[in-house]
């Protein structure tokens, strides 16, 4: 039997739907909500309202691009958490409504499992170059920073995580201090490419094991900017590119050092990154250099699969479904769903 999966993702500010047939991607439609830009962060009430406005059109387009009708679908996989509750509820209620109306099976997927397995997304005729199990994944997004041993498609172990802010949050909060837009990560990345990464030294945390911390960096960044503006009111405009390059270098080094330590101690040389921050050009370059030095097989996700998308949710649903799992209609939606 060919398994046709409709994926639905609405955990934050992207409304997305995708279709997979036998694990291959046939469509992946993403509507990124622009309304939040002017507020410097995602406004939960506006996000859930925008999901309600977008979801029917996004699902319809995903089915059309895959040249399927809803009747053809075998399974609906939706994000059940973690994320913004109001946003999650739009996707989960819509998925459940569709399942009841069409007599379809459903699976509630953990959003983070989607990011982990995004490396396995392949379009119809695309060849496979995928990580071999077990592999290490540095999952870096707006809400999470973790190092995970991925033992199989359904078996993962977190060996390190942030004790406070996530890496993406550090980018976004520092961008806010600089008066840049939201999300700040891509803006800092772009400006950093024209700056000198060694112009300012920000302190790095001393955290044991494979764990991370970014709140100290955020505070020292804020104090640095405040003190320098006090001395020179034009400090920001005079030095913006250097500030971004130095900040990015510090965040990248914190991430890369811990990943290298995890690779050394576990002996795993199959290495990957995922989540929104895995789009960062500085992180990618640093890891490519380290991969060469340490003989890693490095897997960098395609940029289009780094940020939130329904294709990765559909893929996790597919892997679970072919192992015989699916959920009942009362599967819960949880803002703080455990890994």
**Which among 80, 79, 254 is positioned nearest to 165, based on CA atoms?**
254
Cα 274 to Cα 2, 70, 83, 330, distances in angstroms: 28, 30, 17, 30
CA terminus-to-terminus distance, the chain: 31
- Which entry of Zn ion, ligand KG4, none binds 7, CB below 5 to 8 A by partner kind? none
- Which entry of Zn ion, ligand KG4, none binds 185, CB below 5 to 8 A by partner kind? ligand KG4
Binders in 279-318 for ligand KG4, by CB under 6 A: 279-280, 307-308
168 binds ligand KG4 (CB under 6 A): yes
Q: Helix, strand, or coil here: 214?
A: coil
195 binds ligand KG4 (CB under 6 A): no
- Select the span of 34-42, 164-172, 287-295, 312-320 touching ligand KG4 (CB under 6 A): 164-172
- Select the span of 66-74, 185-193, 205-213, 224-232 touching ligand KG4 (CB under 6 A): 185-193
Q: What is the rounded CA–CA span in Å between residue 170 and residue 217? A: 8
239 binds Zn ion (CB under 5 A): no
- Select the span of 76-84, 140-148, 151-159, 288-296 touching Zn ion (CB under 5 A): 140-148
Cα 136 to Cα 29, 163, 323, 339, distances in angstroms: 28, 19, 23, 16
# residues near Zn ion by CB under 5 A: 2
Antiparallel, parallel or unpaired: β 14-21 and 24-32: antiparallel
185 binds ligand KG4 (CB under 6 A): yes
Interacting residue with Zn ion among 141, 248, 309, 333 (CB under 5 A): 141
Instruction: Identify the bridge partners of residue 270 per DSSP, sorted by sequence position.
Output: 297
Instruction: Identify the bridge partners of residue 299 per DSSP, sorted by sequence position.
Output: 272
Binders in 279-308 for Zn ion, by CB under 5 A: 308
Interacting residue with ligand KG4 among 5, 6, 12, 315 (CB under 6 A): 12
Cα 186 to Cα 227, 240, 278, 307, distances in angstroms: 26, 14, 11, 11
Q: Is the CB of 66 or the CB of 170 nearer to ligand KG4?
A: 170
Binding mask 240-279 for ligand KG4 (x = CB under 6 A): -----------------------------------xxx-x
14 binds Zn ion (CB under 5 A): no
- Return the DSSP state at 70: G
Cα atoms in the Cβ-side hemisphere of radius 13 Å centred on 3:
20
Q: Which residues bind Zn ion (CB under 5 A)?
A: 141, 308
Q: Which residues bind ligand KG4 (CB under 6 A)?
A: 12, 141-143, 168, 171-172, 183-186, 189, 275-277, 279-280, 307-308
């Amino acid at each position: 039997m060919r398994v046709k999966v409709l994926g639905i993702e609405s955990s934050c500010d992207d409304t997305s739907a995708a279709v997979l047939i036998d694990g291959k991607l046939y469509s992946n439609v993403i509507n990124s909500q622009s309304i939040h830009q002017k507020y410097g962060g995602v406004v939960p009430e506006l996000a859930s309202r925008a999901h309600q406005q977008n979801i029917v059109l996004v699902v319809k387009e995903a089915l059309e691009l895959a040249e399927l009708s809803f009747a053809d679908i075998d399974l609906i996989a939706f994000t059940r958490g973690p994320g913004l509750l109001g946003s999650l509820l739009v996707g989960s209620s819509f998925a459940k409504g569709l399942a009841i109306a069409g007599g379809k099976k459903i699976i509630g997927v953990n959003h983070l499992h989607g990011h982990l397995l995004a490396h396995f997304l392949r379009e119809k005729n695309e060849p496979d170059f995928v990580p071999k199990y077990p592999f290490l994944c540095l999952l870096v997004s707006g809400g999470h920073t973790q190092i995970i041993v991925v033992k199989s498609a359904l078996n993962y172990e977190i060996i390190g995580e942030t004790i406070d802010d996530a890496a993406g949050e550090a980018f976004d909060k520092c961008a806010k201090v600089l008066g840049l837009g939201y999300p700040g990560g891509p803006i800092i990345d772009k400006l950093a490419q024209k700056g000198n990464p060694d112009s300012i030294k920000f302190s790095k945390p001393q955290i044991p094991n494979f764990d991370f911390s970014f709140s100290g960096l955020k505070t020292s960044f804020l104090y640095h900017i405040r003190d320098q503006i006090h001395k020179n009111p034009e400090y920001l405009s005079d030095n913006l590119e250097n500030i971004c390059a130095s900040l990015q270098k510090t965040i990248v080094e914190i991430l890369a050092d811990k990943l290298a330590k995890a690779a050394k101690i576990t002996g795993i040389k199959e290495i990957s990154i995922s989540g929104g921050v895995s789009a960062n050009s500085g992180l990618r370059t640093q890891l490519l250099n380290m991969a060469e030095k340490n003989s890693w097989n490095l897997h960098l996700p395609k940029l289009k699969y780094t940020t939130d998308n329904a294709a990765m949710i559909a893929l996790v649903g597919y892997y679970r479904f072919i192992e015989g799992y699916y959920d009942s209609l009362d599967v819960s939606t949880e803002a703080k769903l455990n890994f």
